[in-house]
Chain A
């Protein structure tokens, strides 16, 4: 989510996405990507890359590249564009694979429940290539999972449906860099301002904030936020286990729970799997035990 919030006096990036990907596509810069069959042999190795860049939030304002948006589009133009996108999807994907879509129309049996952030830059369908039928998806602010005792909410309705009805085998919670929701969590006072929905929601991550402030107090605020982004994923994994029907399935090995972190500054993805041992949770006082930790760049 945005750290730099646009204001009426700030410069906006001219609709870069639509200029590059839309009807004004210039063939030199971007090409329509087609999926290719991948096997592991295509990757020379999954290397560990130390990020040499800072979050770069203040150092990269290239003013010569930012242009003021002049809003000339009216709503009908925008929706003509949407019409073309849908027709393009229908022609190039739906009709190309009609049998598959007809099967999907009868029912879905996704292997994943994915919980991601609403941030426009981190759609799991895009960054992890989930195709129709593969992943039941929840997107909310800061990809938070509230604990069972917090009562009914939009997120746990989706948990209930995906785990108990669709019987997904994997739950993946994906955090990301420069998350505005986590930043809001780290910036707020201990007392929640009840008139703010944002505060009322992100307070679900308060344990991650407490841990971060205790463990990373000597770091800069930006670095603390980065730590909190990852810690809140772990807290959400623990919160998943507060749902009895989830814990039971994890204990029996029917469901696996994974955490992920997408850094879009240097394009890396970290992934880890919850190593569930009931005793571990008690001994470590709520600290998570993980296995199969990987980082791809």
Chain B
């Protein structure tokens, strides 16, 4: 599989440079096709890392010395964000979080297990640190469409496959969501939204989250990113209810 970055830039170039003659445009088109052909391009992971870091250093780090000087001293993020590990749903990209803004967890299906001092210390450590040390003011849990972890939850063990050592244990955190949506006759994406709500409930089982939330120092919100239709939903968890979702955009944006 070829360089996503190169293809993205070449496509953008083709769209923007209307004055390109037919010969040049055809050559670029051919190059894009060759880059996209599976197995036809040698992928160098080290070069990819070099390119990525130098791009960041030249265009971001070196251009913002004041910001990065301050961040070298510490961080004061306003958000704790739970996002899925899925390569398509980085919260930094879809919600444009800049360095210093969001303490971020990425795990399968962006799940939050309930408070349990004997298990899942990884998640517990993150919540403990973010709430009691960094004093974040917002927690945001983001689910998404076509989630592989949710798919596994919904289909196993009905699909008869051999259990995974670790995945099945993990995604069963959201089994309540699965049971609810199956009873309603709904599918995977509904389960992904409902799993966010299970995680929001689980967040409130952590004593420091509950305390900060009741003192109105911490807001707990859920989000759902639909990357099929390019839509983001956002809602808030209150003690007794969940707010209706804000849909972004509220009306279709025309493609360019």
A residues within 8 Å of B by Cβ? Answer: 1-6, 12-13, 15-18, 20-21, 29-31, 33, 35-38, 40, 42-43, 46, 56-57, 60-61, 65, 75, 78-79, 82-83, 85-91, 93-101, 104-105, 107-112, 118-123, 125-141, 144, 146, 152-162, 164-165, 169-170, 172, 177-178, 180-181, 194-198, 200-202, 256, 258, 260, 264-265, 267, 269, 271, 273, 292, 294, 296-297
Give the residue of A6, A129, A139 whose beta carbon is less than 8 angstroms from that of B55. Answer: A129
Report yes or no: B7 in contact with A86, Cβ–Cβ below 8 A: no
Q: What is the 8 Å Cβ interface bit string for chain B, positions 8-39, against chain A (1 contact, 0 not)?
A: 11111001000000000000000000000000
Give the residue of B68, B73, B135 whose beta carbon is less than 8 angstroms from that of A267. Answer: B68
Pull 11 A–B residue pairs with CB atoms less than 8 Å apart, ordered by A. A2-B133, A4-B74, A6-B76, A18-B101, A35-B9, A37-B10, A86-B248, A97-B12, A121-B99, A140-B126, A153-B166
Q: What chain A residues lie within 8 Å of B94 (beta carbons)?
A: 86, 89
Report yes or no: B9 in contact with A2, Cβ–Cβ below 8 A: no
Report yes or no: B129 in contact with A141, Cβ–Cβ below 8 A: yes
Further contacts, 12 of them, CB under 8 A, given A108-B87, A129-B56, A296-B50: A60-B73, A82-B234, A94-B230, A97-B12, A121-B75, A123-B97, A127-B53, A144-B122, A155-B122, A161-B85, A197-B128, A267-B68
Residue of A nearest to B10 (CB): A37
A101 and B107 CA atoms in complex are apart in Å by 22
Report yes or no: A128 in contact with B124, Cβ–Cβ below 8 A: no
Give the residue of A21, A132, A157 whose beta carbon is less than 8 angstroms from that of B108. Answer: A157
Report yes or no: B124 in contact with A134, Cβ–Cβ below 8 A: no
Question: Interface SS of chain A: helix, strand, loop or mixed?
Answer: mixed
Q: How far is the CB of B244 from chain A (nearest CB, A)?
A: 13
Report yes or no: B90 in contact with A138, Cβ–Cβ below 8 A: no
Q: How many A-B residue pairs have CB under 8 A?
A: 337
A108 and B90 CA atoms in complex are apart in Å by 13
Report yes or no: B255 in contact with A79, Cβ–Cβ below 8 A: no
Give the residue of B48, B87, B100 whose beta carbon is less than 8 angstroms from that of A121. Answer: B100
Report yes or no: B92 in contact with A125, Cβ–Cβ below 8 A: yes
A18 and B79 CA atoms in complex are apart in Å by 13
Q: How far is the CB of B137 from chain A (nearest CB, A)?
A: 8
A105 and B89 CA atoms in complex are apart in Å by 11
Give the residue of B54, B59, B95, B117 whose beta carbon is less than 8 angstroms from that of A89. Answer: B95
Q: What chain A residues lie within 8 Å of B68 (beta carbons)?
A: 264, 267
B169 CB–A CB distance under 8 Å = yes
A106 and B181 CA atoms in complex are apart in Å by 23
A265 and B106 CA atoms in complex are apart in Å by 24
Q: What chain A residues lie within 8 Å of B45 (beta carbons)?
A: 111-112, 169-170, 172, 256, 258
Q: How far is the CB of B144 from chain A (nearest CB, A)?
A: 10
Report yes or no: B46 in contact with A111, Cβ–Cβ below 8 A: no
Report yes or no: A137 in contact with B125, Cβ–Cβ below 8 A: no
Report yes or no: B4 in contact with A131, Cβ–Cβ below 8 A: yes
Q: What chain A residues lie within 8 Å of B77 (beta carbons)?
A: 120
B residues within 8 Å of A by Cβ? Answer: 1, 4-12, 15, 43, 45-57, 59-64, 66-79, 85-90, 92-108, 111, 113, 117, 120-130, 133-135, 138, 145-146, 148-149, 164-167, 169-171, 219, 221, 227-228, 230, 232, 234, 236, 246, 248-249, 253, 255-256
Q: What chain B residues lie within 8 Å of A3 (beta carbons)?
A: 74
Report yes or no: B145 in contact with A105, Cβ–Cβ below 8 A: yes
Report yes or no: A83 in contact with B73, Cβ–Cβ below 8 A: no
Q: What chain B residues lie within 8 Å of A95 (beta carbons)?
A: 230, 253, 255-256
Residue of A nearest to B165 (CB): A160
Known: A87-B253, A292-B46. A118 touches B73 (CB 8 A): no
Report yes or no: B138 in contact with A75, Cβ–Cβ below 8 A: yes
Report yes or no: B72 in contact with A126, Cβ–Cβ below 8 A: no
Known: A105-B228, A161-B148. A97 touches B122 (CB 8 A): no
Q: How far is the CB of B51 from chain A (nearest CB, A)?
A: 5
Q: What chain A residues lie within 8 Å of B63 (beta carbons)?
A: 30-31, 33
